Protein backbone atom coordinates (compact mmCIF):
# COMPACT_ATOMS: atom_id res chain seq x y z
CA UNK A 1 0.00 0.00 0.00
CA UNK A 2 1.31 3.39 -0.92
CA UNK A 3 1.34 6.23 1.55
CA UNK A 4 1.12 9.79 0.34
CA UNK A 5 1.75 12.66 2.73
CA UNK A 6 0.67 16.01 1.31
CA UNK A 7 1.49 19.38 2.84
CA UNK A 8 1.04 18.00 6.32
CA UNK A 9 1.07 20.54 9.14
CA UNK A 10 0.53 20.29 12.88
CA UNK A 11 0.95 22.96 15.51
CA UNK A 12 1.18 22.52 19.27
CA UNK A 13 0.56 25.90 20.82
CA UNK A 14 3.15 28.29 19.43
CA UNK A 15 5.36 25.48 18.15
CA UNK A 16 5.08 24.12 14.64
CA UNK A 17 5.74 20.43 15.15
CA UNK A 18 5.24 19.55 11.50
CA UNK A 19 5.46 22.31 8.96
CA UNK A 20 4.12 21.61 5.50
CA UNK A 21 5.84 18.34 4.69
CA UNK A 22 5.14 16.14 1.69
CA UNK A 23 6.54 12.77 0.74
CA UNK A 24 5.39 9.40 -0.45
CA UNK A 25 6.31 5.82 0.32
CA UNK A 26 5.66 2.89 -1.97
CA UNK A 27 5.08 -0.78 -1.28
CA UNK A 28 8.35 -2.61 -0.83
CA UNK A 29 10.13 0.48 0.34
CA UNK A 30 11.70 1.08 3.73
CA UNK A 31 11.76 4.75 4.57
CA UNK A 32 14.05 5.96 7.31
CA UNK A 33 12.92 8.99 9.20
CA UNK A 34 15.87 10.90 10.57
CA UNK A 35 16.01 14.02 12.61
CA UNK A 36 17.16 15.48 15.90
CA UNK A 37 14.91 15.19 18.94
CA UNK A 38 11.77 17.25 18.56
CA UNK A 39 12.05 17.47 14.78
CA UNK A 40 8.53 16.17 14.24
CA UNK A 41 9.18 12.51 13.46
CA UNK A 42 6.87 11.11 16.10
CA UNK A 43 4.14 13.63 15.35
CA UNK A 44 4.18 12.69 11.68
CA UNK A 45 3.95 9.02 12.57
CA UNK A 46 1.09 9.61 14.97
CA UNK A 47 -0.80 11.44 12.24
CA UNK A 48 -0.18 8.63 9.75
CA UNK A 49 -1.60 6.12 12.23
CA UNK A 50 -4.51 8.50 12.84
CA UNK A 51 -3.83 8.64 16.57
CA UNK A 52 -3.79 12.42 16.43
CA UNK A 53 -5.41 14.74 13.95
CA UNK A 54 -3.58 16.96 11.52
CA UNK A 55 -4.13 20.72 11.28
CA UNK A 56 -3.56 21.01 7.57
CA UNK A 57 -2.77 18.88 4.57
CA UNK A 58 -3.55 15.20 4.36
CA UNK A 59 -2.18 11.69 4.67
CA UNK A 60 -3.55 9.29 2.09
CA UNK A 61 -3.23 5.55 1.82
CA UNK A 62 -4.10 4.19 -1.60
CA UNK A 63 -5.75 7.54 -2.34
CA UNK A 64 -8.01 7.63 0.74
CA UNK A 65 -7.46 9.96 3.63
CA UNK A 66 -6.47 8.20 6.88
CA UNK A 67 -8.84 10.37 8.90
CA UNK A 68 -11.92 9.18 7.01
CA UNK A 69 -11.03 5.71 5.77
CA UNK A 70 -10.40 2.99 8.34
CA UNK A 71 -6.87 1.75 7.76
CA UNK A 72 -6.21 0.60 11.32
CA UNK A 73 -6.30 -3.06 10.31
CA UNK A 74 -3.71 -2.40 7.59
CA UNK A 75 -1.26 -0.63 9.86
CA UNK A 76 1.08 -2.14 12.41
CA UNK A 77 2.36 0.48 14.80
CA UNK A 78 5.13 0.49 17.35
CA UNK A 79 4.71 3.73 19.30
CA UNK A 80 7.54 5.71 20.84
CA UNK A 81 8.62 4.37 24.26
CA UNK A 82 6.89 1.08 23.38
CA UNK A 83 4.02 1.13 25.90
CA UNK A 84 2.99 -2.35 27.10
CA UNK A 85 0.80 -3.92 29.77
CA UNK A 86 3.37 -4.79 32.41
CA UNK A 87 1.27 -7.35 34.23
CA UNK A 88 0.27 -9.39 31.18
CA UNK A 89 2.15 -12.50 30.10
CA UNK A 90 3.66 -12.26 26.61
CA UNK A 91 1.40 -14.92 25.09
CA UNK A 92 -1.78 -13.39 26.53
CA UNK A 93 -0.77 -9.98 25.33
CA UNK A 94 -0.16 -11.17 21.78
CA UNK A 95 -3.48 -12.99 21.81
CA UNK A 96 -5.22 -9.85 23.04
CA UNK A 97 -3.64 -7.79 20.24
CA UNK A 98 -4.51 -10.42 17.63
CA UNK A 99 -8.14 -10.48 18.73
CA UNK A 100 -8.37 -6.70 18.78
CA UNK A 101 -6.93 -6.51 15.29
CA UNK A 102 -9.56 -8.93 14.09
CA UNK A 103 -7.30 -11.85 13.23
CA UNK A 104 -9.57 -14.82 12.45
CA UNK A 105 -10.02 -17.09 15.48
CA UNK A 106 -8.64 -20.12 13.67
CA UNK A 107 -5.48 -18.25 12.79
CA UNK A 108 -4.72 -16.55 16.10
CA UNK A 109 -2.64 -19.39 17.55
CA UNK A 110 -0.68 -19.80 14.36
CA UNK A 111 0.08 -16.06 14.12
CA UNK A 112 1.22 -15.96 17.74
CA UNK A 113 3.55 -18.91 17.15
CA UNK A 114 4.95 -17.25 14.05
CA UNK A 115 5.55 -13.95 15.82
CA UNK A 116 7.23 -15.64 18.78
CA UNK A 117 9.54 -17.45 16.43
CA UNK A 118 10.17 -14.42 14.25
CA UNK A 119 10.97 -12.13 17.16
CA UNK A 120 12.91 -14.72 19.16
CA UNK A 121 10.58 -14.67 22.14
CA UNK A 122 10.34 -18.41 22.70
CA UNK A 123 12.26 -18.51 25.98
CA UNK A 124 10.29 -15.62 27.43
CA UNK A 125 6.80 -16.33 26.15
CA UNK A 126 5.27 -17.25 29.52
CA UNK A 127 6.86 -14.42 31.47
CA UNK A 128 5.02 -11.28 32.39
CA UNK A 129 6.00 -8.35 30.20
CA UNK A 130 7.10 -6.36 33.26
CA UNK A 131 9.75 -8.97 33.99
CA UNK A 132 11.38 -8.73 30.56
CA UNK A 133 14.56 -6.85 29.76
CA UNK A 134 14.35 -3.83 27.52
CA UNK A 135 15.44 -5.72 24.43
CA UNK A 136 12.78 -8.35 24.90
CA UNK A 137 10.13 -5.74 25.55
CA UNK A 138 11.11 -4.16 22.25
CA UNK A 139 10.64 -7.53 20.55
CA UNK A 140 7.21 -7.85 22.12
CA UNK A 141 6.42 -4.39 20.76
CA UNK A 142 7.47 -5.47 17.29
CA UNK A 143 5.53 -8.71 17.58
CA UNK A 144 2.31 -6.90 18.49
CA UNK A 145 2.80 -4.50 15.59
CA UNK A 146 3.12 -7.35 13.10
CA UNK A 147 0.66 -9.83 14.59
CA UNK A 148 -2.08 -9.14 12.05
CA UNK A 149 0.34 -9.19 9.11
CA UNK A 150 -0.26 -5.53 8.19
CA UNK A 151 0.60 -4.02 4.82
CA UNK A 152 2.08 -0.97 6.48
CA UNK A 153 4.49 -0.88 9.38
CA UNK A 154 5.15 2.30 11.30
CA UNK A 155 7.99 1.86 13.76
CA UNK A 156 9.00 4.67 16.05
CA UNK A 157 12.59 3.99 17.10
CA UNK A 158 12.40 0.21 16.84
CA UNK A 159 15.94 -0.57 18.00
CA UNK A 160 16.33 1.58 21.11
CA UNK A 161 17.52 -0.42 24.07
CA UNK A 162 18.70 -3.40 22.07
CA UNK A 163 22.20 -4.79 22.32
CA UNK A 164 24.33 -4.84 19.13
CA UNK A 165 23.43 -8.45 18.31
CA UNK A 166 19.76 -7.78 18.72
CA UNK A 167 20.03 -4.62 16.63
CA UNK A 168 21.46 -6.65 13.77
CA UNK A 169 18.68 -9.23 14.13
CA UNK A 170 15.92 -6.66 14.22
CA UNK A 171 17.40 -4.86 11.21
CA UNK A 172 17.46 -8.10 9.26
CA UNK A 173 13.88 -8.71 10.32
CA UNK A 174 12.75 -5.28 9.18
CA UNK A 175 14.58 -5.67 5.90
CA UNK A 176 12.95 -9.02 5.25
CA UNK A 177 9.51 -7.64 6.00
CA UNK A 178 10.19 -4.51 4.02
CA UNK A 179 10.48 -6.40 0.75
CA UNK A 180 6.76 -6.90 0.48
CA UNK A 181 5.39 -4.18 2.74
CA UNK A 182 5.55 -0.47 3.27
CA UNK A 183 7.76 0.42 6.22
CA UNK A 184 8.42 3.76 7.84
CA UNK A 185 10.86 3.76 10.72
CA UNK A 186 12.30 6.59 12.71
CA UNK A 187 15.60 6.63 14.47
CA UNK A 188 18.47 8.85 15.34
CA UNK A 189 21.01 6.11 14.98
CA UNK A 190 22.60 6.95 11.65
CA UNK A 191 24.28 3.68 10.71
CA UNK A 192 20.88 2.11 11.23
CA UNK A 193 19.18 3.96 8.42
CA UNK A 194 22.05 3.19 6.14
CA UNK A 195 21.88 -0.47 6.99
CA UNK A 196 18.13 -0.90 6.71
CA UNK A 197 16.50 1.82 4.70
CA UNK A 198 16.05 2.19 0.96
CA UNK A 199 15.40 5.86 1.36
CA UNK A 200 16.23 8.46 3.95
CA UNK A 201 14.17 11.45 4.91
CA UNK A 202 15.85 13.97 7.15
CA UNK A 203 13.55 16.39 8.89
CA UNK A 204 14.45 19.30 11.06
CA UNK A 205 12.14 21.68 12.90
CA UNK A 206 9.15 20.19 11.14
CA UNK A 207 10.52 20.60 7.63
CA UNK A 208 12.04 18.08 5.25
CA UNK A 209 15.66 19.01 4.64
CA UNK A 210 16.78 16.00 2.64
CA UNK A 211 15.13 13.12 0.81
CA UNK A 212 16.90 10.35 -1.06
CA UNK A 213 19.11 7.29 -0.76
CA UNK A 214 22.23 7.45 1.36
CA UNK A 215 24.30 7.78 -1.82
CA UNK A 216 22.33 10.66 -3.30
CA UNK A 217 22.46 12.46 0.03
CA UNK A 218 26.23 12.09 0.04
CA UNK A 219 26.49 13.47 -3.45
CA UNK A 220 24.24 16.37 -2.59
CA UNK A 221 26.04 17.15 0.62
CA UNK A 222 29.56 17.42 -0.68
CA UNK A 223 31.02 17.54 -4.11
CA UNK A 224 34.51 17.02 -2.75
CA UNK A 225 36.09 13.61 -2.99
CA UNK A 226 38.60 12.57 -0.42
CA UNK A 227 41.19 9.90 -1.20
CA UNK A 228 43.64 8.40 1.27
CA UNK A 229 46.94 7.09 0.01
CA UNK A 230 49.85 5.21 1.45
CA UNK A 231 52.90 5.72 -0.71
CA UNK A 232 56.60 5.02 -0.37
CA UNK A 233 59.55 5.46 -2.71
CA UNK A 234 60.44 9.09 -2.15
CA UNK A 235 60.36 11.76 0.52
CA UNK A 236 56.80 12.24 1.61
CA UNK A 237 57.03 16.00 1.21
CA UNK A 238 58.08 15.68 -2.44
CA UNK A 239 55.28 13.25 -3.11
CA UNK A 240 52.78 15.59 -1.57
CA UNK A 241 54.01 18.56 -3.57
CA UNK A 242 53.86 16.66 -6.82
CA UNK A 243 50.39 15.27 -6.18
CA UNK A 244 49.23 18.73 -5.21
CA UNK A 245 49.95 19.90 -8.74
CA UNK A 246 47.46 17.53 -10.37
CA UNK A 247 44.58 19.54 -11.86
CA UNK A 248 41.47 19.32 -9.74
CA UNK A 249 43.27 18.74 -6.46
CA UNK A 250 42.21 21.21 -3.82
CA UNK A 251 44.54 20.12 -1.10
CA UNK A 252 47.05 17.43 -0.35
CA UNK A 253 48.03 16.85 3.23
CA UNK A 254 50.36 14.56 5.06
CA UNK A 255 48.34 12.58 7.56
CA UNK A 256 51.01 10.50 9.18
CA UNK A 257 54.75 10.67 8.51
CA UNK A 258 55.61 7.26 9.94
CA UNK A 259 53.17 5.30 7.82
CA UNK A 260 53.53 7.54 4.75
CA UNK A 261 49.87 8.49 4.52
CA UNK A 262 48.58 11.37 2.46
CA UNK A 263 45.05 12.65 2.12
CA UNK A 264 43.96 14.33 -1.09
CA UNK A 265 40.83 16.38 -1.48
CA UNK A 266 39.64 17.00 -5.03
CA UNK A 267 36.52 18.40 -6.65
CA UNK A 268 35.86 15.23 -8.61
CA UNK A 269 37.07 11.66 -8.65
CA UNK A 270 40.68 11.71 -9.91
CA UNK A 271 41.81 8.33 -8.66
CA UNK A 272 43.00 7.33 -12.11
CA UNK A 273 45.17 10.42 -12.60
CA UNK A 274 46.66 10.00 -9.16
CA UNK A 275 47.49 6.39 -9.87
CA UNK A 276 49.13 7.22 -13.23
CA UNK A 277 51.21 9.98 -11.65
CA UNK A 278 52.45 7.62 -8.98
CA UNK A 279 53.32 4.89 -11.49
CA UNK A 280 55.12 7.40 -13.71
CA UNK A 281 57.21 8.61 -10.78
CA UNK A 282 58.09 5.03 -9.88
CA UNK A 283 56.72 5.27 -6.35
CA UNK A 284 55.12 2.35 -4.58
CA UNK A 285 51.47 2.60 -3.69
CA UNK A 286 50.27 0.28 -0.94
CA UNK A 287 46.93 1.79 -0.15
CA UNK A 288 44.33 3.88 -1.94
CA UNK A 289 41.05 4.40 -0.15
CA UNK A 290 38.21 6.62 -1.28
CA UNK A 291 36.77 8.19 1.87
CA UNK A 292 33.01 8.47 1.90
CA UNK A 293 31.43 11.48 3.45
CA UNK A 294 29.92 10.26 6.66
CA UNK A 295 26.18 10.37 7.04
CA UNK A 296 26.83 11.95 10.42
CA UNK A 297 28.43 14.92 8.70
CA UNK A 298 25.53 15.31 6.29
CA UNK A 299 23.12 15.08 9.17
CA UNK A 300 24.98 17.72 11.15
CA UNK A 301 25.23 19.98 8.12
CA UNK A 302 21.52 19.78 7.46
CA UNK A 303 20.16 20.01 10.94
CA UNK A 304 22.45 22.44 12.70
CA UNK A 305 21.86 25.40 10.42
Does residue 51 interact with another protein by CB under 8 A? yes
Cβ 28 vs Cβ 52: under 8 Å: no
CB 272 to another protein: min, Å = 54
CA 194/CA 51 separation, integer angstroms: 28
Does residue 99 interact with another protein by CB under 8 A? yes
CB 70 to another protein: min, Å = 8
Cβ 260 vs Cβ 284: under 8 Å: no
CA 127/CA 132 separation, integer angstroms: 7
Tell the burial category of 57 from Cβ atoms under 10 Å away from its Cβ (0-12, 13-18, 19+).
middle
CB 44 to another protein: min, Å = 12
Interface mask toward another protein for 54-93; x: CB under 8 A:
----------------x-xx-x-x-x-x-xxxxxx---x-
Binding-site size for another protein (CB under 8 A) equals: 28
Q: In what order do the strands lie in the sheet with 64-65?
A: 15-25, 3-12, 56-61, 64-65
**In 3D, which of 158, 157, 162 has the Cα closest to residue 133?**
162
CB 106 to another protein: min, Å = 14
Does residue 111 interact with another protein by CB under 8 A? no
Does residue 244 interact with another protein by CB under 8 A? no
Instruction: Give Rg (Cα) of the chain.
Output: 25
The DSSP code for 133 is: -
Cβ 128 vs Cβ 88: under 8 Å: yes
CB 83 to another protein: min, Å = 3
Does residue 131 interact with another protein by CB under 8 A? no
Q: Which residues here bind another protein, judged by CB under 8 A?
A: 46, 49-53, 70, 72-73, 75, 77, 79, 81, 83-88, 92, 96-97, 99-102, 144, 148
Amino acid sequence: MNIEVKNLAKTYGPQKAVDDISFSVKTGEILGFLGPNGAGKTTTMKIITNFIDKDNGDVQIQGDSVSTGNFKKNIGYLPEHNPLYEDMPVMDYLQYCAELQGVAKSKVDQRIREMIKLCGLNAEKHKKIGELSKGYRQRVGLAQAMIHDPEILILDEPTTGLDPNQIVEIRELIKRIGRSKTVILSTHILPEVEATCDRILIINKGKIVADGTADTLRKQASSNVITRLQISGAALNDIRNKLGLIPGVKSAQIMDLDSNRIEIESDHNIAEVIFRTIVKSNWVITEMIPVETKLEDIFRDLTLN
